[in-house]
Amino acid sequence: MVTSTESRTKFADLLTHRSELRARVENVVNSMAVTDVHTHLFPLEFNELCLYGIDELLTYHYLTAETLRSARIPHDRFWQMSKTDRAELVWQTLFVENSPASEAARGIVTVLDAFGLDTRAENLAEARAFFNSRRLSEHIDHVFDIARVSGVVMTNDPFDETEGQIWKSDDFGADPRFKSALRLDRLLNTNLVTGTITDLRHSLDEWIARMNPVYMGVSLPADFRFPADNTRDRLLRDVVLPTAKEHGLPMTLMVGVRRGVNPLLREAGDGVGRADVTSVERLCGEYQDVNFLATFLSRENQHELCVAARKFNNLMPFGCWWFLNNPSIVSEITRERLELLGMSFIPQHSDARVLEQLIYKWKHAREEIAAALADSYELLLSSGRAVTAEEITRDVNRLFSGNFGDWIQR
C-alpha cells in the first residue's frame, strides 16, 4: 500500500514545470556516460593506427571532400602533398578563407575550443605545439573524460595486414575501454578472402577467440538484397550467420553506401544510395535467433527502418550514420525514433576515426538528443503525465548504454 507520505514525496518529484523539465533533461543527457557502439578508433597499443592531433583531425576524409570543393587544386596534386601540407591547406581553405559552417568543420572548432586553443588562428602552430606536448596515454583518458565516453567499439579487420599482425602479436595489454568488433567487409564485399565454407568458419572461430568481439559487422551497398543469388548471400547463410548463432554474437548491418563514386577523392569518394529495408526485414525474419543492429545511410530509409524494428524485436536501429550526422538530420531521426520506438533504440554512434572527434561528435549529438527528448517529455506532460528525474535518468541510461548492453548479452 502506498502511504500518503510516499505519494506526496512522489508527487513532489514530478517535473511539472517546463523549464525545470528541460534543464533536467539537458543535465542528464550531458552528464551520462555513453557507450560508443561504432568507431574506427584504436588504443595506444595499435601504434600508427591510433590517430590523434590536429593534422589527423584536419585531414579527416569528411573535410578533404569539402576542401576540394573550395580550393582550386587538382585532386592528384592534393594527394601528392604530405599530410601536414594537406592539413594546412584544409585549415587555410575552410577556416581562414571561409567560415567553418559545415558540421565536420564546426567539429574542429568545438575540439579546439574544448582545449582552450584559438579557433581563429591564422596557422596551425599553436594547435600542433599543444597536441605534440600531450602524453598520449593521459590524452586518451582526458578525451574520454571530456566526451564522457565510457567505452568505444572499434572496427577490426583481421584481413588487414597491419591490424592482423598486431592481433597476432599477443603482447598488448588490452585497454578495456576499447571493445573489438569483427568487420567482415573484405569477406562479404570483395573476393579477396577465399576458402571452403569449413575453412572460413574455422577462420572466423579463430578470430572470435582471439579478439573477443562484441559483434560482427559489415557495411553493405545500397543495392544489397536478401535473399539473392550471389556469393554474399551464400557466405551469409553458410558462414556468417551460423557463426553469429553459435557464438551468440549480434550482427551489425550498415546499409546504403556506394563505394568509390568518385575514386579521385580516395577515401572521401564514397556516396549514398537509398537501400531496401525489406531485405533486412527478411534477414531478421529468417534468423530470429540472431540479434541485428542496423543503420541506414540514406535519410529516405529512416522511417522504414523504424517500422521494420516495430515488427522484429531482434532488430535494433542505431546511430545517424556519416552523411546523416548533421544536427538537422539527427534531430529529425531521433524524434522519429522516439515516436515510433519509445526508448528501444540506440540514438547515436560517433564513427570517430581520430581520437578527439569523440569530443565534438558527442557534444553535438547530446544537444540534439536532449532537445528531442525534452520535447517528447513535454508532450507527455501536456497529455497529462509528468516524469521524474529518476525516470529521465533511467531512459537516458537505456539509450546511451543499456540497449546496447542488453543486445550484446542476449
Binding site for ligand RAT (CB under 6 A): 40, 155, 219, 254, 322, 351, 353
Write down the least CB distance from residue 214 to Zn ion, Å.
15
In the block, cell 534477414 appears at 283
Interacting residues with Zn ion between 349 and 368 (CB under 5 A): 351
Residue 29 in contact with residue 365, Cβ under 8 Å? no
Which 294-353 positions form the footprint of Zn ion (CB under 5 A)?
351
Helix ranges restricted to H, 236-276: 241-247
Crossing angle of the two packed helices 61-70 and 103-114, in degrees rounded to 10:
120
Least distance between ligand RAT and beta carbon 61 (Å): 6
CA gap 242, 231 in Å, rounded: 16
Q: Least Å distance between CB 249 and ligand RAT? A: 18
- The DSSP bridge partners found for residue 139 are none
Q: What is the 3-state secondary structure (H, E, C) of 169-187?
A: HCCCCCCCCEECCEECHHH
Amino acid at 235: L
Least distance in angstroms from the C-beta of 342 to Zn ion: 27
C-beta of 219 vs 302, nearer to Zn ion: 219
For residues 40 and 177, give the distance between their C-alpha atoms in angstroms, rounded to a whole number: 13
Q: Residue 322's binding partner, choosing from ligand RAT, Zn ion, none, with beta-carbon cut-off 5 to 8 A by kind?
A: ligand RAT
Using the minimum distance from each CB to ligand RAT, give the nearer residue, 159 or 322: 322
Binding track, positions 66-105, relative to Zn ion; x by CB under 5 A: ----------------------------------------
Which of 254, 293 has the CB closer to ligand RAT? 254
The angle, 0 to 180 degrees and rounded to 10, between the axes of the packed helices 357-383 and 327-341 is: 40
- Cα dihedral 372, 374, 380, 385, rounded to 10, equals 160
How far apart CA 144 and CA 146 sit, in angstroms, is: 6
Rounded distance between C-alpha atoms, residue 392 and residue 382, angstroms: 17
CB of 354 to Zn ion, least distance (A): 13
Least distance to ligand RAT from the beta carbon of 51, Å? 12
Number of residues that bind Zn ion (CB under 5 A): 1
Rg of the chain, C-alpha, whole Å: 22
* Residue 219 interacting entry, from ligand RAT, Zn ion, none, C-beta within 5 to 8 Å by type: ligand RAT
Decide: 285 and 312 in contact? Cβ < 8 Å: yes
Question: Considering CB distances under 5 to 8 angstroms, the limit depending on partner class, which of ligand RAT, Zn ion, none binds residue 236?
Answer: none
In the complex, the smallest distance separating the C-beta of residue 382 from ligand RAT, rounded to whole angstroms, is: 38
Cβ closer to Zn ion: 134 or 186? 186
Residue nearest to Zn ion (CB): 351
Question: By C-beta, is 232 or 353 nearer to ligand RAT?
Answer: 353
- Using CB under 5 A as the binding rule, whether residue 276 contacts Zn ion is answered as no
C-beta of 157 vs 351, nearer to Zn ion: 351
Contact partner at residue 232 from ligand RAT, Zn ion, none, CB < 5 to 8 Å by partner kind = none
With respect to ligand RAT, which residue has the nearer C-beta, 25 or 319? Answer: 319
150 Cβ contact list (under 8 Å, min separation 6): 33, 34, 35, 144, 177, 401
Largest CA distance in the chain: 76
Of 332 and 351, nearer to Zn ion (C-beta) is 351
**Least distance from ligand RAT to the Cβ atom of residue 297, Å:** 9
- The interface partner of residue 66, options being ligand RAT, Zn ion, none and the CB cut-off 5 to 8 Å by kind, is none
- Return the residues of window 231-250 that contact Zn ion according to CB under 5 A: none
Q: Where are the alpha helices (DSSP H) in 16-122?
A: 18-31, 54-58, 61-70, 75-80, 83-90, 103-114
Least distance to ligand RAT, CB of residue 255, Å: 11
Measuring CA to CA, which residue among 283, 218, 205 is closest to residue 246? 205
Residues that bind Zn ion (CB under 5 A): 351
